[in-house]
Each structure stands twice: as structure tokens, then as C-alpha cells.
Amino acid sequence: MKTRRKLELEVRQLRARIEEKERNLAEMDERQKKIQVESELRQIKSRILELENTPPPVQEKIIIEEVLKVERDPKLEKLTDDVRSGLETERQIQKPYVPPPTPQTPTKATTTAPLNSMPSPLRSSYSSLNTHLSGSLSSITASTGDEYFPISGIFDTTTDSRMS
């Protein structure tokens, strides 16, 4: 802002000098003085054009960055390494739950074969237990980590692989 005002003030002063030189030129009769004043007049006009056509000055911006020195604590490093290794061994020991494959739609022959091979009292208690379990566990869910799966999919009410 200040530089622009300074430039405008300088332009006004130079224009005042031009008017003064032009008056002097009109009054002069001698050829040599006239040439000298005309050359000064050209210099002043070129300076005015230079000042008017210059781009605005570049604004400076100072950026201060702080640098912090970080020192590592050997005791803290050892503790964090121990905790990390403990977590890693825990992850290796724990195996994620893999849900059983979804059963395919059984045919009538596969559903009746295991039940027919059972004794009659055992067969009726087995089918009533399966009916009871499938009805009561259909809404219960279990979670492991971020995955959720229904428990009812675990129990197959139509076949029992142990009976085959």
C-alpha cells in the first residue's frame, strides 16, 4: 500500500516538472536550450510510463517453522516392543472363526435315511429336539471381531453328519 502511494506521489511530482519544463520551452528562444529541455522532457515521460506499467510489488510472506527434536526412551521402546510382540503372538494363537459351509438343500432320501436308522424313541426325541432348537435359536446371533453371523445356521435340522 505504501509503495503504491509513493509511486503516485512521484508521478504527480514528475507531471508538475513536465508542465514547468514545457513553460520554459515555450519561453526559450535559443535552440540549444530548447534541445536540452526536450531531452529532459522525454526522460521524465519515459519514467512516468515505466512507473505506470510496472506490475505491483511482490508481497512477501514469512513462514516460521518450528523443529522439535524427539529423543527416544530406551525403556519405553523396550516396553512397547514387548507389548507388540505379545499382541502378535496372541493373534497367531487365536484363529478366526470360520462359519461352516451352508448346507445344500437336502433331498428326501437324505433326510429320512439317518432318522429311519434310529430306534423309534430316539428318533422322536431327536426330531423334537431339532425342532425346538431351530425355533428358539433362530434369532440368537454371535459375534467375532467385526463379523456377525446367525447361530441358527450352525444347526442342521435335516441331517446329522455323525449319524451317516
Predicted local distance difference test score (pLDDT) of residue 139: 44
Predicted local distance difference test score (pLDDT) of residue 84: 92
Q: Which residues pair with 142 in a beta bridge?
A: 149
Q: Hey, is 73 helix, strand or coil?
A: coil
Amino acid at site 63: I
Place of cell 519561453: 27
Predicted local distance difference test score (pLDDT) of residue 116: 60
Would you state the cell numbers that stand for residue 32, as one nine-digit string? 540549444
The model's pLDDT over 38-65, given as tens digits with 9 standing for 90+, comes to 899 999 999 989 888 887 777 778 888 8
Predicted local distance difference test score (pLDDT) of residue 61: 81
164 residues of the chain, pLDDT tens digit each: 678 888 889 999 999 999 998 888 777 767 777 888 889 999 999 998 988 888 777 777 888 888 777 788 889 889 999 999 988 888 888 766 666 777 665 554 444 455 566 556 666 666 666 665 555 444 444 444 444 444 444 444 455 545 44
24, 41 contact by CB (below 8 A)? no
Would you state the cell numbers that stand for residue 140, as one nine-digit string? 440368537
Predicted local distance difference test score (pLDDT) of residue 164: 44
Predicted local distance difference test score (pLDDT) of residue 52: 86
> The whole model's pTM is what?
0.26
